[in-house]
């Protein structure tokens, strides 16, 4: 039951946090291969992950739960996402393989709880590789990309600081992330024990709306 699941999660003491993300060559975010090179694309990155070997190692080490990254850098998700293509460039990096789903299933098969990490306000990384001074919440004079405008990161990040609920300038960003979270929660919400949110609940994010979206699933 959900009560037993909650009790098990709340009393767990030994877990593993895995930050396994695809970021191309930018900022060295992508793990390199044994030969020292970066994977050619996100599909190669996802294909190279040995799910059973990973899940067996987690079990052998006695972990009760795993928090695995759904997205961080540039929101390059390790599952097919129609919503991401709708909001961002259709060629945006989302893997054809549902690696996240396979990992969750493999862990659950071995009696290990799964939770998902995600970041709620990561639009400053919606930019190509390179060291140009791109716009962000702490660099207001940087270059503004089309994806920042399309998803509402700009002008959300430039709106005046204020209390919750977020100001009108953040509505498009909240529309965007609620759509993405709705898709992710519909896929995995019934299979995970918890979700971990990064971004420190910055004022731009409507926390209650996001919780409502996720709890539907």
The pLDDT of residue 176 is above 90: yes
Burial of 131 (0-12, 13-18, 19+ CB in 10 A): exposed
Q: Of 81, 80, 47, 34, which is closest to residue 176 (Cα–Cα)?
A: 81
192 pLDDT band, cuts 50/70/90, is: very high
Q: Is the pLDDT of residue 46 over 80?
A: yes
pLDDT reported for residue 215: 94
Cα-only R_g, the chain: 18
pLDDT of 162 over the 70 cut: no
Q: How confident is the model at residue 214 (pLDDT cuts 50, 70, 90)?
A: very high
Look at residues 201, 203, 206 and name the one whose alpha carbon lies nearest to residue 158.
Answer: 203
Mean pLDDT of 52-65: 98
Task: Tell me the β-bridge partners of 115.
Answer: 67, 194
Among residues 6, 1, 3, the alpha carbon closest in space to that of 65 is found at 6
pLDDT at position 137 is 83
Query: What pLDDT score was predicted for residue 128?
Result: 80
Query: pLDDT (tens digit, 9 = 90+) per residue, 9-28?
Result: 999 999 999 999 887 666 56
Q: How far apart are CA 25 and CA 206, in angstroms?
A: 32
The pLDDT, as a whole number, for residue 131 is 73
Q: What is the mean pLDDT of residues 107-131?
A: 91
pLDDT at 110: 98
Which residues, at least 6 apart from 192, have a Cβ–Cβ distance to it below 8 Å?
A: 104, 113, 114, 115, 116
For residue 119, pLDDT beyond 70: yes
Alpha-carbon 44 to chain mean position: 19
Look at residue 4 and tell me whether its pLDDT is greater than 90. Answer: no
Q: Average model confidence (pLDDT) for the chain?
A: 89
- In this prediction the pTM is 0.92
Q: Cβ neighbours of residue 65 under 8 Å, at least 6 residues apart?
A: 9, 12, 14, 15, 16, 112, 113, 114, 115, 193
């Amino acid at each position: 039951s959900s009560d037993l699941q909650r009790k098990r999660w709340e009393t767990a003491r030994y877990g593993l946090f895995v930050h396994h993300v695809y970021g191309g060559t930018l900022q060295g975010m992508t793990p390199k291969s044994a030969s020292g090179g970066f994977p050619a694309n996100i599909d190669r990155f996802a294909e190279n992950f040995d799910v059973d070997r990973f899940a067996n190692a987690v079990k052998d080490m006695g972990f009760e739960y795993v928090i695995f990254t759904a997205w961080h850098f540039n929101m390059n998700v390790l599952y097919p996402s129609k919503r991401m293509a709708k909001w961002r460039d259709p060629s945006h990096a989302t893997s054809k393989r549902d690696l996240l789903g396979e990992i969750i299933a493999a862990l659950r098969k071995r009696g290990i709880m799964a939770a998902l990490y995600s970041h709620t306000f990561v639009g400053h990384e919606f930019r190509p590789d390179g060291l140009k001074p791109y716009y962000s919440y702490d660099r207001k004079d940087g270059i503004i990309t089309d994806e920042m405008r399309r998803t509402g990161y700009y002008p959300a990040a430039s709106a005046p600081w204020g209390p919750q609920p977020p100001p009108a300038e953040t509505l498009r960003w909240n529309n965007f992330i609620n759509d993405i979270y709705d898709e992710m929660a519909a896929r995995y919400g019934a299979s995970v024990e918890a979700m971990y949110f990064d971004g420190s609940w910055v004022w731009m994010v409507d926390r209650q709306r996001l919780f409502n979206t996720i709890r539907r699933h």
